[in-house]
Structure 1
Amino acid sequence: MPRISYEEAKAKYKMWSDAEDARSTGASYSIAGRALTRTTMEEIQMMKRKYGRIIDAYENGGKRRSRTSGIYPVDR
């Protein structure tokens, strides 16, 4: 199991999901004369995948899901 708790992973995943929503409205903004630039969308999606995998590991007991649904031979 990962070193981060399930609750922490869910909170981080939600945080990065919120960041994705905020990023979609604009890359930079200014408040009281201070200019701020948000992180890149690629980094946000990478972190969402990271915490999503941790959540999956907790929910599936550490077992990875199979990516294939089935292979069907075809006669030609």
Structure 2
Amino acid sequence: MPRIPYEEAKAKYQMWNEAEDAIATGSSYSIADRSLTRADMATVLMMKRKYGRIVDAYENGGKRRSRTAGFYPVDR
């Protein structure tokens, strides 16, 4: 199991999900001669994926989904 508590991982996943939405609406803005640039989308997606995997590990009991869809043996 991951070392971060489930509640914290879930909160951070939600935070990065909201950051993704914020970047989609505009990546920078300015107020009163000050400008702010948000993080780039690649960083946000990387962190969202990281915390999403941690949350999945907690919710699935540490078991990963199999990537094998089907296996068909062939005689030669």
For the superposition of Structure 1 and Structure 2, which TM-score range results when normalised by the shorter chain? 0.7 to 0.9
C-alpha displacement of 1:32: 2.6
Runs of 4+ in 1 over 2 A off after TM superposition: 71-74
Letter in 2 for 1:30: S
Q: Hey, what does 1:55 align to over in structure 2? A: 55
Q: Is residue 18 of structure 2 the alignment partner of residue 21 of structure 1?
A: no
Q: Secondary structure at the match of 1:2?
A: coil
What CA distance in whole angstroms lies between the structure 2 residues aligned with 1:38 and 1:73? 51
Seq. identity, %: 76
Question: TM-score, with normalisation over the residues of structure 2?
Answer: 0.86
What CA distance in whole angstroms lies between the structure 1 residues aligned with 2:38 and 2:44? 10
C-alpha displacement of 1:31: 2.0
C-alpha displacement of 1:43: 0.7
What CA distance in whole angstroms lies between the structure 1 residues aligned with 2:33 and 2:2? 41
What CA distance in whole angstroms lies between the structure 1 residues aligned with 2:36 and 2:6? 31
Letter in 2 for 1:35: S
Q: Secondary structure at the match of 1:4?
A: coil
Which runs of 5 or more structure 1 residues have no equivalent in the other structure?
none
Which runs of 5 or more structure 2 residues have no equivalent in the other structure?
none
Q: Is residue 27 of structure 2 the alignment partner of residue 30 of structure 1?
A: no
What CA distance in whole angstroms lies between the structure 2 residues aligned with 1:48 and 1:72? 35
